[in-house]
Structure 1
Amino acid sequence: MTATESTTEVPPAEPPVQAPPSPIPAALPLQPEDPPRVGEFWLRGRLGANAAGYLYTASDEHGRHAVVAIMTEGSADDAAARDRFVHAVDSLPEDVVLAHNDEDDDDLALWAAFGPIREDDGSSAAADERLLAERRGEDVLSAVLMDRIPQQGRRRGPDFRHYWEGRRRPGLFRIWPLPWPTALKPASWAAIWYALATMLLIMALALLTAWLLFKDSPPLNPPPVIPTPSRTVTTTITPTTPPPGSTGPPSTPVTPDPSGSLPTGTPETTAPSPTNPGDKF
């Protein structure tokens, strides 16, 4: 008796399932104290912060994306901390430091931009470049803070702490050219034009309302005195008729001075009659 051999078909091997690309972490919104721009990079959001400085996601007008590290006001006022920042930036390869300000700017906080970072197209390469640039910025700030130096010997006494760690606001910065209106998006431009058009319309309606209210108003009586080009004023006084029963002389019209100047001084007064007892007091 012969055994029958059974053949089974082996299904083809499926291709390995690729892991989805890791998304780029979203940045936090900028705070009012954050600089809108450092150098040629516009800051878009916060990535992290410690006592030594802040990390921001940024991009310039040419479409380059980067991670910007800037010192806090406390660390920027410490000469030793500034030296550690400069040394940490100089130790990185030149192609990963896109820009930085001058270390001689004693009144400004030091900053540096790390990259390059490609446009976020959903690929893992863009996420890796962003995370790598962010890691470089963290290393620079950690060098300023000196929190990754290995402990030598046993711990004794209080823990080490920089005297400037409490001053955690972003350091001083200088913006030139000014951030407005270069940083405005098309939607912001449209809002500005709509606001200007609305303001002009309100002004036109106000002028039209004023013209309609005062176009039929009667002229002033007497009219206002308008000086002539020779700076003279002509005043006309109409004589009045004395009332019936008045024994006083009729009023005499006042003739203006030919020189055009107004009369000055006090008018003449009539001495009281000694026979009238009412004039004694």
Structure 2
Amino acid sequence: MTTTESQTEVQPAEGPEDAPARVIPEALPLQPEDPPRVGEFWLRGRLGANAAGYLYTAGDEAGRSAVVAMMTEGSADDAAARERFVNAVDDLPDDVVLAHNDADDDDLALWAAIGPIREDDGSSSAADERLIAERRGEEILSAVLMDRIPHMGRLRGPEFRHYWEGRRRPGLFRIWPLPWPNALRPASRWALVLALVTMAIIMALAVFLAWLLFRNAQPLEPQPVIPTPTGTVTVTITPTTPPPGTGSPTSTTPSPVPTTGIPTGTPTTGGTPSDPGDKF
């Protein structure tokens, strides 16, 4: 009797760092009305939006990644909504809020950068940090919108809506110093330099061609007539000397012809009252 032993390979248990990363949705491209930068964070794309504000994925020049929550223009004009935004940001841990603008800027929309988020290295920890920051941003905007407050009592009457829900454009923002050209990538900077050099060459070539075309241009004939204050114009006629052997006059030195006064102005004779020539 033969006994066959089956050997089974035991796979090591996967640790939290070896677990496959969660699939997180990609950010949508920025729209023309979106700010390119808030504070020290450059916005990269949209993560979500509602009537209270927008969620953006962003990063600063130091390499930190964050999720930026920013109010809409409608909610930013409501003092109560601004207060709810500030309270929701204050409820977060201090190490979570990387940056935010001053709540006293009444003419600007409030925003807050939430993190920290490590670079996407394919691990589950990096994806979890991104999702956690995004959930915290959603909670801030939900506090402004008050859509997660449980209803008390029975439903009666029309549904409640904020008066500013229709104004969903991103709120006002201020960029100083200006983002250009810091927002350009190295490839974009080279393209911009080449475009400027090409424009300068074309302009120099156009000026050179114009100089070649008009450098030997003759003066206009006849000379422009300039009237005098007395209402007459002075015309000087200078005869030219004919070439030798063509029957020239006896005098070789031309004598200037005296000037004559030619009156100008509206003719006083001719025409009838109905003649259009009397009107000019």
Shift of 1:120: 1.3
Shift of 1:210: 1.3
1:40 to 1:239, Cα distance in 2 relative to 1, 3 A: closer
- RMSD (CA atoms): 2.6
Shift of 1:5: 6.9
1:238 to 1:92, Cα distance in 2 relative to 1, 3 A: same
Partner of 1:166: 166
CA deviations on 1:173-193 (whole Å, 9 max, x unpaired) are: 111111111111111111111
For 2:237, the aligned partner's letter is T
In 2, the alpha carbon distance for the partners of 1:192 and 1:60 equals: 23
Contact residue 23 and residue 122 of structure 1 kept, 8 A? no
Shift of 1:6: 2.5
1:252 to 1:111, Cα distance in 2 relative to 1, 3 A: same
User: What TM-score does the superposition give when structure 2 sets the normalisation length?
Assistant: 0.77
Q: 1:253 aligned to 242, 252, 258, which one?
A: 258
Shift of 1:151: 1.5
For 1:172, the aligned partner's letter is L
CA deviations on 1:185-239 (whole Å, 9 max, x unpaired) are: 11111111111111111112212211221233335556789xxxxxxxxx88236
- SS state at 2:47 partner: strand
CA deviations on 1:226-263 (whole Å, 9 max, x unpaired) are: xxxxxxxxx882367xxxxxxxxxx96149xxxxxxx9
In 1, the alpha carbon distance for the partners of 2:177 and 2:184 equals: 14
Q: Is 1:8 matched up with 2:23?
A: no
Contact residue 70 and residue 112 of structure 2 kept, 8 A? yes
In 2, the alpha carbon distance for the partners of 1:213 and 1:14 equals: 85
Partner of 2:246: none
Shift of 1:22: 1.6
Q: Based on CA coordinates, which of the two structures has the bigger radius of gyration?
A: 1
Shift of 1:12: 2.8
In 1, the alpha carbon distance for the partners of 2:29 and 2:49 equals: 13
Partner of 2:62: 62
Q: Percent identity?
A: 72
For 1:187, the aligned partner's letter is A
Point out where structure 1 has 5 or more consecutive residues left out of the alignment: 226-234, 241-250, 256-262, 268-281
Paired residues for 1:234-245 under 5 Å:
237-238=236-237
Paired residues for 1:98-247 under 5 Å:
98-220=98-220, 237-238=236-237
- SS state at 1:56 partner: strand
How many residues align? The count is 238
Shift of 1:156: 1.6
Partner of 1:72: 72
- SS state at 2:176 partner: coil
For 2:3, the aligned partner's letter is S
1:186 to 1:252, Cα distance in 2 relative to 1, 3 A: closer
Partner of 1:231: none
Contact residue 30 and residue 46 of structure 2 kept, 8 A? yes
Contact residue 29 and residue 46 of structure 2 kept, 8 A? yes
For 2:93, the aligned partner's letter is P
Contact residue 236 and residue 257 of structure 2 kept, 8 A? no
1:94 to 1:239, Cα distance in 2 relative to 1, 3 A: closer
- SS state at 2:211 partner: helix
Point out where structure 2 has 5 or more consecutive residues left out of the alignment: 226-233, 240-255, 266-280
In 1, the alpha carbon distance for the partners of 2:223 and 2:79 equals: 75
User: What TM-score does the superposition give when structure 1 sets the normalisation length?
Assistant: 0.77
For 2:133, the aligned partner's letter is A
- SS state at 2:136 partner: helix
Shift of 1:20: 2.2
